[in-house]
Structure 1
Amino acid sequence: MTEGYELPEGFEGLEAMAEKWARPTEDERNAIRFNAGAEDFAEFCEVMMPRLPGLLGRLAGYDPSPSDPAENRALQLVCAFAEAAPHHELYGGSPQVPFSFDARRFVPEHGRQRL
């Protein structure tokens, strides 16, 4: 188990993905995504896709609470997947969106809000 990146029971084996991708703010997750390559996106999607229904089921109705770091980390991992998957599925592994402005120019006002 990767220390500090524990997930809820039943999701063992995803800790390495959590260590790499799960962060509490959109800004932090974007920084990882902007520096990822095609292999990173492919590996993330390959590992996450079969586990996604279980994670989403676990998080259905979940109200983020600072008192449950494992559940929060699961939510952060699912958010990271939602943000990264298009880069694997639609953008050929590029961290940029083709035929668009540089996404690093977009700074979400809520980007520092913690999950």
Structure 2
Amino acid sequence: MTQLISQLPADFAVLEAFVAKWALGTSKQRHQQRLQSTSAELQAFYDVILPEMHKLLAALDEYELGTLPEELHKLYWLSLSFAEIAPHIELYKGSVGVPYAFEEKRFIYETGDVVNV
């Protein structure tokens, strides 16, 4: 196992600055964080994590579903936050919401409080 620096494995130290804001355990938290962020914040996270995604997913893929060690949970949650914000950078020109769509804040979560691990 790789040595931990703060909250992430040493190989992912470049992502450490984003842990507090984007390593969120539930889909509801990640969705709300996206809506509360600015376009510049989405872009900054996207620009740093995108080059790390191949290595990040390879590290997570070493484990069977449901067996991810706790020390990798935040790394996993960062990858889920990337999936949350990527369409907004790639398709919606950095908009934090979905253009021409139903107002997202009106949705009710059925399972959004379940921690993803």
> Taking structure 1 as the reference length, what is the TM-score of the superposition?
0.86
> How far 1:7 moved relative to its partner?
1.2
RMSD (CA atoms): 2.0
Aligned 8 A contact 2:5 2:13 in 1 = no
> How far 1:89 moved relative to its partner?
1.3
CA distance in 2 between partners of 1:98 and 1:30 (Å): 15
> Taking structure 2 as the reference length, what is the TM-score of the superposition?
0.85
> How far 1:98 moved relative to its partner?
0.6
Aligned positions, number: 112
> How far 1:20 moved relative to its partner?
1.3
Q: Mark the runs of 5 or more structure 1 residues left unpaired by the alignment.
A: none
Structure 2 counterpart of 1:101: 102
Determine what percentage of the aligned residue pairs are the same residue: 34
> How far 1:9 moved relative to its partner?
3.3
Q: Mark the runs of 5 or more structure 2 residues left unpaired by the alignment.
A: none
Mapping 1:26-105, distance limit 5 Å: 26-62=27-63, 63-64=65-66, 68-105=69-106
Task: Choose 31-40 or 8-17, whichever is displaced more.
Answer: 8-17
Deviations along 1:48-74, one digit per CA (max 9) or x if unpaired, are: 1110000011111533458x3321111
Q: Which has the higher helix share?
A: 2
Structure 2 counterpart SS, 1:107: coil
* Shift in CA distance, 110/16, structure 1 to aligned 2, threshold 3 Å: same
